[in-house]
Amino acid sequence: MESLFQYQRIRRAVCDQLAEIKEKCRCENYTPGSPHSSSCHSRNVWLSDPPKQFSLQEKPPINSPIIVDWDGQDDPLNPASQSVSRKLFMTFLVSLLAFSVTATSAIDACGILQYSEDFNVSEVVGSLATALFLVGFGSGSLLSGPFSETFGRNAVYLITMILFLIFIMAAGLAPNIHSHLIFRFLAGFFGSTPLTCAGGTVADLWNPLQKTYAFPAYAIPSFVGPMAGQIIGSYIPINLGWRWLEWIMLIMGGAILVIVLLFQPETYGPLLLYWKAKILREETGDERYKAPMELKNEALGPRLLASVYRPFALVYSELIIILMSLYLTVVYIVLFTFLEGYTYVFGHTYGLSQQMTSILWVGMLCGILLVGCLVPVVYSWTAKEYKKTSSIAPEMRLWFAMLGGAPAVPISLFWMGWTSYPSISIWSPLIASAVFGYGITAIFVSAYMYIIDSYGVYSASALGFLVFTRYVVAGGMTVAGGPIYRSIGVHYTLTILGAISTAMAAIPYLLYVYGPRIRKYSKFAVNVGAD
């Protein structure tokens, strides 16, 4: 709905400026579509950036395209020119979509006991509902980028979210475990869009300095999703039945989708310029007006193939992508094994019920929110550096992880693992879970911002690989989590994960020192600050 109003605003703006030019060009007997009109239009930067072979005073060649661009840097039709509050609102709406799908990814873990009994399967088979959703997340992430760069962000968000909700409804109605698992996978496949396209939305709206607070404004609400899913679903399976886990997510996702439909404008600049060019052709009858995206001849099919192939091709030569992918994969393995592990960490140790164990995810949620306290500090440092150098080196994005985020993960795992005893207060592992939430969110923010700034036009492919690997591996570990905790116990499981996380914690610091050198010899990375 908001996109429709946005299209009408562009039409009104174009018509108003055409009327203004008609008045100025009256001396040339202006009529829309006439040769004189093209001459008048070519002399106005708001309509076009003329090809280099002729000046602003010359009439462009008869078949030469007139490239439509923004009316200066402060064009009100450009989403990037909106006020900070308006852009924060648009970013928050995208984060609500991400919150909806990430909450759905984890909420089924609350009902494993109930639907395992209902379908007469083991709990390991029951955990596949979460695992396959995550695998679907990873698979869908490889395809959503090219669609959003062809049809715009809103179209992709809305269509995929509708399909996501349809398959969540189907999962709630599933008569057997096979159909339930298939529908959960498909829901994850289509639900991946708010995570994979969000980096593009942030890039549409914010300049490099503003991203320092804009990306955390998206990431923190998004990362709350899995914890919120556990909290929301804590009492539902026992009191209402496991199918209500899907109904609650369907209701919440539908409400968020309606809000986005009503209030979220299109943010993809090339598509808005295409609308502008189309309106100019309709109003003037001059078919030479073209948006930059219309001059690209690459079809959607080859771009989809490239989007699937390129993320894996980048891995062979890009050490930064390998390290960050490995780091986030380890973090997500720990996070999603907690879906089963919390039963052993808190339930078996302290004798808590299934419902109370799910409620304790609030500790991790509080830790995630604490990352917001880092934003003013990192922003002030980044602003000072930007003022001195007029650029932002990608390594500056690692400050979130370096300011306690990286060491917080192994510290919290060792802390939780070796204080989870009935003789020790439950507040000890609970506080440790808050430290873990703080650490993983700081790492996530740093990793995404660092990859985006390091790879520029290739960042979508780089992020596609990050999303694919961490969700597919995390999906597999979700199934294995319960048996691992049962076989070797809480203390040794968390000790092993803590030891692996300790090795990973060095990555942000190593990249901060050696990242510029690595980027200098990369075929795909940008070289800002790499000299």
pLDDT, one tens digit per residue, over 465-474 is 888 888 989 8
- Asked whether residue 274 falls in the same domain as residue 248, the answer is no
**Per-residue pLDDT tens digits for 274-305:** 899 999 888 888 888 888 888 876 676 776 77
Q: What is the CATH number of the domain that holds 122?
A: 1.20.1250.20
Tell me whether residue 289 is in a domain.
Answer: no
In degrees and rounded to multiples of 5, residue 467 shows phi and psi of: -65, -45
The answer to whether residue 397 scores a pLDDT higher than 70 is: yes
Q: Which of 245-259, 285-299, 337-351, 455-469 has the highest mean pLDDT?
A: 245-259
3-state helix, strand and coil shares in percent for the chain, rounded to the nearest 5: 75, 0, 20
**Per-residue pLDDT tens digits for 369-387:** 999 999 999 999 999 988 8
- Asked whether residue 490 falls in the same domain as residue 380, the answer is yes
**Per-residue pLDDT tens digits for 121-138:** 888 888 889 999 999 988
- Asked whether residue 346 falls in the same domain as residue 273, the answer is no
Tell me whether residue 350 is in a domain.
Answer: yes
- Asked whether residue 388 falls in the same domain as residue 416, the answer is yes
Tokens 């799910």, residue located? 358
Q: According to the model, what pLDDT value does residue 251 have?
A: 96
- Asked whether residue 132 falls in the same domain as residue 159, the answer is yes
- Asked whether residue 5 falls in the same domain as residue 144, the answer is no
The answer to whether residue 162 scores a pLDDT higher than 90 is: yes
Number of domains, the chain: 2
Tell me whether residue 341 is in a domain.
Answer: yes
Beta partners for 4? Answer: none
If you average pLDDT over residues 493-522, what whole number do you get? 93
The answer to whether residue 191 scores a pLDDT higher than 60 is: yes
Tell me whether residue 69 is in a domain.
Answer: no
* Helix (H) or strand (E) segment spanning residue 67: strand 66-67
Q: For the chain, what percent of residues have pLDDT higher than 70? A: 90
- Asked whether residue 354 falls in the same domain as residue 475, the answer is yes
Contact present, 130 and 106 (Cβ < 8 Å): yes
CA angle 392, 393, 395 (to 5 degrees): 125
- Asked whether residue 246 falls in the same domain as residue 278, the answer is no
- Asked whether residue 240 falls in the same domain as residue 386, the answer is yes
Tell me whether residue 414 is in a domain.
Answer: yes
- Which residue from 106, 288, 68 is spatially nearest to 188, judged by alpha carbons? 106
Tell me whether residue 25 is in a domain.
Answer: yes
Tell me the residue ranges of DSSP E strands in 324-446: none
- Asked whether residue 201 falls in the same domain as residue 276, the answer is no
Helices first, then strands: H and E counts in the chain: 27, 2
The answer to whether residue 488 scores a pLDDT higher than 70 is: yes
Tell me whether residue 527 is in a domain.
Answer: no
Q: According to the model, what pLDDT value does residue 431 have?
A: 96
Tell me whether residue 85 is in a domain.
Answer: no
Q: What is the domain extent for residue 10?
A: 1-29+269-282
pLDDT band at 28 (very low <50, low <70, confident <90, very high): low
Q: According to the model, what pLDDT value does residue 60 have?
A: 53
- Asked whether residue 326 falls in the same domain as residue 347, the answer is yes
- Asked whether residue 10 falls in the same domain as residue 120, the answer is no
Contact present, 41 and 28 (Cβ < 8 Å): no
Neighbours of 421 (CB within 10 A): 13
